[in-house]
Structure 1
Amino acid sequence: MNSKIIAGIFSFSILVMLGCKPNASVRINKRASMSNISNLPDNPLEMNPMAVSLRPEQKTISTLYGNGIASRRLTGSANYAPGSVLYLVTWKEKADTEWFGARIPDQITAIERVAIDRNGQKNYTFYKSPACPAVFYSKKDERPSIILSMPIAVSPGLYQGSFKQLTLANTKRCVVNITAANNQ
């Protein structure tokens, strides 16, 4: 009788242990990660995310990452300081199998790097993927300006004043723009 109880408890504990094991291979989105970054000077995914851009028509997601110097702009600095390094990483998107209607990054389609040297010169590099070497890009003169002018994500925790002041400032600006448009 004791052996039947012990066997039952043992069987139950084995079932509990096997039933609670998550399927980690499904939970990690390996296609969206950067497994081979040998041709990149830095790993952008280890930098600070600064902005996100969704383009539903093209089914892409882009994230702007910056090094420590570039991320100072998050706290109110007007321009990027010399030494700033920014990466705009673009992924194709796919449907999330875990959440109905959600979209998640799939495969990296492009990586753009803008570095500002100590003289304020912008150096632009385009990568087709993390494993590919830098390639020539026909619009390389306009891309750094577009990347550097991307609006930074606003977080109430990073805003120096109160969130109420931030909301009022944005409301007043909208009213001014509407009034100016009506006067023309």
Structure 2
Amino acid sequence: MKTLYSLMAACTLMFTACSNNQPVELYNTKAALPASPQYNLDGLKVITSFVNKKQGTASTLYGNDLALKSAIDGNKALAANEEFTLVTWKQQDDDHWFGAKIPSDVESVEVIKTAASGNSVAINYQQLEGKGLAVKSDTLGQAERIKYILGQKPSVMP
């Protein structure tokens, strides 16, 4: 009987020694987008998502109904009132799944809006950066970013 009690006490000590007393977050609140008047994801649909392992980022491209239709058609001709929003997050290790990566802090939000301008379509591009999503005033490389975002192929959805 004494051996049984000793064995139970040893097992109890082993199990309590293996516990990790750090609080576990069940929800990834770091990836939440802060409210901002410069963008609005309400009513937008996911067009595609992708990961850049080299930079350690994950991105999701959203669009309104016109943008989604345009992306499915290959963005051959832009129409007025299309809205594309590319959100990019840094990645972090997932505490709940070994080897997995999940989004962390927001790195940038890029918004492309089209509007009718006479017989043509005007493209308005805006990039918000950092945790506070400050407007990036540097316009260098905007044409390349617009081409990159509009060149994304939509995910195949049932």
* TM-score, normalised with respect to structure 1: 0.63
Matching residue of 1:53:
50
Structure 2: state its 5+ residue gaps.
Answer: 1-22
- How far did 1:132 drift? 3.1
Aligned length: 130
- How far did 1:40 drift? 2.1
| Aligned partner of 2:80 among 63, 79, 82 | 82
- How far did 1:46 drift? 5.5
Q: Which of the pair has the greater relative contact order for Cα pairs under 8 Å at 6+ separation?
A: 2
Structure 1 or 2: more strand by fraction: 2
Distance 1:27 1:47, change over 3 A: farther
Separation of aligned partners in 1, 2:69 and 2:61: 14
| Identity between Structure 1 and Structure 2 (%) | 26
Structure 1 or 2: more helix by fraction: 1
Separation of aligned partners in 1, 2:99 and 2:134: 35
Separation of aligned partners in 1, 2:57 and 2:42: 17
SS in 1 for 2:142: coil
Does the aligned pair in 1 maintain the 2:62–2:85 contact within 8 Å? yes
Separation of aligned partners in 1, 2:153 and 2:63: 13
**Stretches of 4+ aligned residues off by more than 4 angstroms:** none
Separation of aligned partners in 2, 1:93 and 1:135: 22
SS in 2 for 1:26: coil
| Aligned partner of 2:67 among 44, 66, 70 | 70
Structure 1: state its 5+ residue gaps.
Answer: 1-22, 158-184
Q: CA RMSD in A?
A: 2.2
- How far did 1:98 drift? 1.0
Separation of aligned partners in 1, 2:130 and 2:42: 14
Indicate whether 1:121 and 2:122 are aligned: yes
- How far did 1:143 drift? 1.1
